[in-house]
């Protein structure tokens, strides 16, 4: 992508696999399915299976039900070469054919390199314990170089001695080195960006002038004269025109579109993928419009101006692990862009947990490799059941350490706008986990006036400006805060302040302390969450609240501990939610 036109011919992807992993790891089949999909194809990958016929310690009959470990690749109409690893000439010939085929047909190719591993699972492993007969045969076979020399009729003793002497000289040279060699060097486009601990000096203003917002907003609702927009989408565009002109509050969809539009206009590449991401799972995005008569597509964000950077949004296949892994890799090559992956529901990130654990949360600590990937995870309890409620806030908080990730839950459209722009504009490159709303996407409580997008920055904590002398302070995050506000209004309660914690990690301690101290006469501090007691942010936030509250008592309101994230009954959910709100004001 960085190399522009012809990039697929300038870059040759090669992936090396073990035979057990190729046959056994489900993500492999998912990755193969990306081969020709729009937004994911790389013009063909050469897959080399280093097939030692024992996987780790198990024989092929225990590793896969098919004849060959490579048979999973039969799902694609691609060539699969099986080649004897003891025949170097055949290996070279197959390698050349694989490269030629890839370039001729822009297709994946699989090379099943069938051989053996002389020393078992590792150099200190004794493979004769689990594979005595196989390793008796292996021990009797000469090395491949010896077999090849004999085939050529060459005296290998002199060559062997020459290579051995050279290796020993290099070993001695390495032992005398005073500095370790540089193992890698990042491309120059990483130079402006940094990781490490959070530093307030990296903050930048994210507001956009009102005139520019209106101009961009009007561009977002323009379509060609001969383009036939769906009636429902046309009404949405009409509403967004009113939002752009300040005649209607902005919802999350429009705030996001303006964030994207302003970024591409400023030269930042924006890429978003996920299941149903073009339309939006909740019909909130409509990044691409479909002509109802011709079926043609039109993307307003791709036509902001001639100078704008590219914008692309792709509906992904029904996969989390492979697609999130792809986008993580994309973000590694685009620190100067905004790369986002959206789960259809936040719960579905469960299917990508290995990518989150191994790479997103740990890559900086393990390899000093940075990423600015954004994960958009719809989260909130609306009675839709256990698989459509929780994006598992608690899991991400357990992974949070050493300022490795950012975890946020913006409560308003304007906050979401500033958060997205902050991620692109700030030079501090960290993965961003955003718990996005569902029912609050268009709710009046979460909408924002256009002028709020001109404010300087995202606020990690939003204090309560409606209640000045509170007797009690509620701290919460996300949708439940708006429900608490409605409940407070219904009760005519003028003594309870409600503070929104918009950023959970890195924890905004000074900002939250200031918001609580604004109600110095309060007699107690209460943490309220929708999630069960063994989930959500309770375990993480509560000790911090106790420290910040000083001598004020701190208690929590939440659902009872549960093995399931949420009830599957809408009526039970309503009863639980009603009880939760009542307890918060007792």
Output the pLDDT for position 534. 97
Output the pLDDT for position 353. 97
Residue-wise pLDDT tens digits, 378-427? 999 999 999 999 999 999 999 999 999 999 999 999 999 999 999 999 99
Output the pLDDT for position 375. 98
CA pair distance 460, 406, nearest whole angstrom: 11
pLDDT at 126 over 90: no
Give the model's confidence band at 125: pLDDT under 50 very low, under 70 low, under 90 confident, else very high.
confident
Residues of the chain above pLDDT 70, percent:
100
CA pair distance 80, 276, nearest whole angstrom: 33
pLDDT at 214 over 80: yes
Output the pLDDT for position 216. 98
Centroid of chain to Cα 17:
24
- Read off the pTM: 0.94
Mean pLDDT confidence for 27-46? 95
Q: Are 437 and 252 in contact (CB under 8 A)?
A: yes
CA pair distance 79, 104, nearest whole angstrom: 13
CA pair distance 69, 110, nearest whole angstrom: 11
Residue 557 phi/psi, 5° resolution? -120, 125
Beta strand pairing call for 524-532 and 472-476:
parallel
Residue-wise pLDDT tens digits, 217-275? 999 999 999 999 999 999 999 999 999 999 999 999 999 999 999 999 999 999 999 99
Task: Work out the mean pLDDT of the chain and round it to a whole number.
Answer: 95
Residue-wise pLDDT tens digits, 58-93? 888 888 999 999 999 999 999 999 999 999 999 999
Nearest alpha-carbon partner for 501 in 456, 551, 454, 536: 536
Which position has the token pair 């809408």? 570
Size (the chain), residues: 586
Three-state SS letters, 464-519: CCCCCCCCEEEEECCHHHHHHHHHHHHCCCCCEEEEEECEEECCCHHHHHHHHHCC
Residue-wise pLDDT tens digits, 318-375? 999 999 999 999 999 999 999 999 999 999 999 999 999 999 999 999 999 999 999 9
CA pair distance 96, 92, nearest whole angstrom: 6
Nearest alpha-carbon partner for 332 in 221, 144, 195: 195
Cα torsion angle, 348, 353, 359, 365, sign: positive
Output the pLDDT for position 185. 82
Give the model's confidence band at 19: pLDDT under 50 very low, under 70 low, under 90 confident, else very high.
very high
Class of residue 106 by CB neighbours under 10 A (exposed 0-12, middle 13-18, buried 19+): middle
- Angle (nearest 5°) at CA 297 between 293 and 301: 140
Question: Which pair of tokens denotes residue 270?
Answer: 């924006």
For 418, the 3-state DSSP assignment is helix
Give the model's confidence band at 179: pLDDT under 50 very low, under 70 low, under 90 confident, else very high.
confident
Mean pLDDT confidence for 178-199? 87
Mean pLDDT confidence for 177-204? 88
pLDDT at 441 over 80: yes
Residue-wise pLDDT tens digits, 505-535? 999 999 999 999 999 999 999 999 999 999 9
Output the pLDDT for position 177. 84
Q: Are 537 and 481 in contact (CB under 8 A)?
A: no
Give the model's confidence band at 553: pLDDT under 50 very low, under 70 low, under 90 confident, else very high.
very high
Q: Are 378 and 285 in contact (CB under 8 A)?
A: no
Q: Are 347 and 390 in contact (CB under 8 A)?
A: yes
Nearest alpha-carbon partner for 110 in 161, 53, 44: 44
Output the pLDDT for position 184. 74
Which position has the token pair 């409580």? 445
Centroid of chain to Cα 496:
37
Query: In the 8-state DSSP scheme, what is residue 65?
Result: S
pLDDT at 24 over 90: yes
């Amino acid at each position: 992508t960085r190399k522009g036109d012809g990039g697929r011919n300038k870059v040759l992807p090669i992936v090396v696999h073990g035979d057990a992993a190729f046959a056994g790891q489900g993500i492999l089949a998912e990755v193969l399915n990306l081969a020709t999909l729009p937004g994911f194809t790389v013009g063909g990958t050469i897959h080399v299976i280093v097939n030692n016929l024992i996987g780790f310690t198990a024989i092929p009959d225990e590793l896969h039900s098919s004849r060959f470990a490579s048979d999973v690749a039969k799902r694609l109409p691609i060539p699969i070469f099986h080649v004897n690893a003891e025949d170097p000439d055949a290996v070279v010939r197959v390698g050349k054919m694989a490269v030629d085929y890839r370039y001729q047909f822009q297709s994946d190719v699989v090379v099943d390199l069938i051989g053996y591993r002389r020393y078992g699972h590792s150099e200190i492993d004794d493979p004769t314990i689990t594979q005595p007969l196989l390793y008796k045969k292996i021990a009797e076979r000469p090395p491949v170089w010896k077999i090849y020399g004999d085939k050529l009729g060459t005296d290998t003793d002199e060559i062997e001695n020459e290579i051995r002497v050279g290796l020993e000289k290099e070993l001695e040279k390495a032992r005398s080195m005073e500095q370790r060699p540089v193992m890698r060097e990042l491309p120059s486009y990483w130079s402006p960006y940094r990781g490490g601990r959070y530093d307030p000096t990296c903050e930048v203003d994210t507001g956009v002038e009102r005139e520019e917002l209106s101009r961009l907003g009007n561009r977002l609702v323009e379509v060609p004269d001969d383009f036939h927009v769906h009636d429902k989408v046309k009404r949405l565009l009409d509403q967004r025109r009113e939002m752009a002109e300040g005649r209607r509050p902005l919802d999350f969809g429009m705030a996001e579109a303006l964030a994207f539009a302003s970024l591409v206009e400023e030269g930042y590449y924006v890429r978003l993928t996920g299941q149903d991401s073009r339309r939006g799972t909740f019909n909130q995005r409509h990044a691409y419009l479909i002509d109802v008569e011709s079926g043609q597509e039109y993307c307003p964000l791709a036509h902001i101006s001639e100078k704008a950077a590219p914008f692309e949004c792709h509906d992904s296949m029904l996969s989390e692990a492979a697609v999130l892994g792809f986008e993580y890799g994309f973000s590694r090559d685009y620190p100067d862009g905004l790369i986002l992956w959206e789960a259809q529901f936040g719960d579905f990130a469960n299917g990508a947990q290995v990518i989150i654990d191994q790479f997103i949360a740990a890559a900086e600590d393990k390899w000093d490799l940075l990423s600015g990937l954004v994960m958009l995870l719809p989260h909130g309890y609306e009675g839709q059941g256990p698989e459509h409620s929780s994006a598992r806030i608690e899991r991400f908080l357990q992974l949070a350490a050493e300022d490795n990730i950012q975890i946020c839950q913006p409560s308003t459209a304007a906050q979401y706008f500033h958060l997205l722009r902050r991620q692109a504009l700030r030079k501090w490159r960290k993965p961003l986990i955003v718990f996005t709303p569902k029912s609050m996407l268009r709710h009046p409580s979460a909408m924002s006036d256009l002028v709020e997008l001109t404010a300087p920055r995202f606020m990690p904590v939003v204090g309560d400006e409606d209640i000045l002398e509170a007797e009690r302070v509620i701290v919460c995050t996300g949708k439940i805060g708006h429900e608490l506000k409605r409940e407070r209004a219904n009760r005519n309660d003028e003594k309870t302040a409600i503070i929104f914690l918009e950023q959970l990690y890195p924890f905004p301690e000074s900002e939250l302390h200031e918001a609580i101290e604004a109600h110095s006469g309060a007699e107690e501090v209460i943490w309220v969450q929708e999630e069960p007691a063994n989930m959500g942010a309770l375990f993480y936030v509560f000790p911090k609240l106790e420290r910040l509250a000083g001598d004020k008592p701190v208690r929590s309101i939440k659902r009872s501990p549960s093995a399931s994230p949420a009830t599957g009954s809408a009526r039970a959910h309503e009863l639980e939610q009603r009880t939760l709100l009542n307890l918060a004001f007792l």
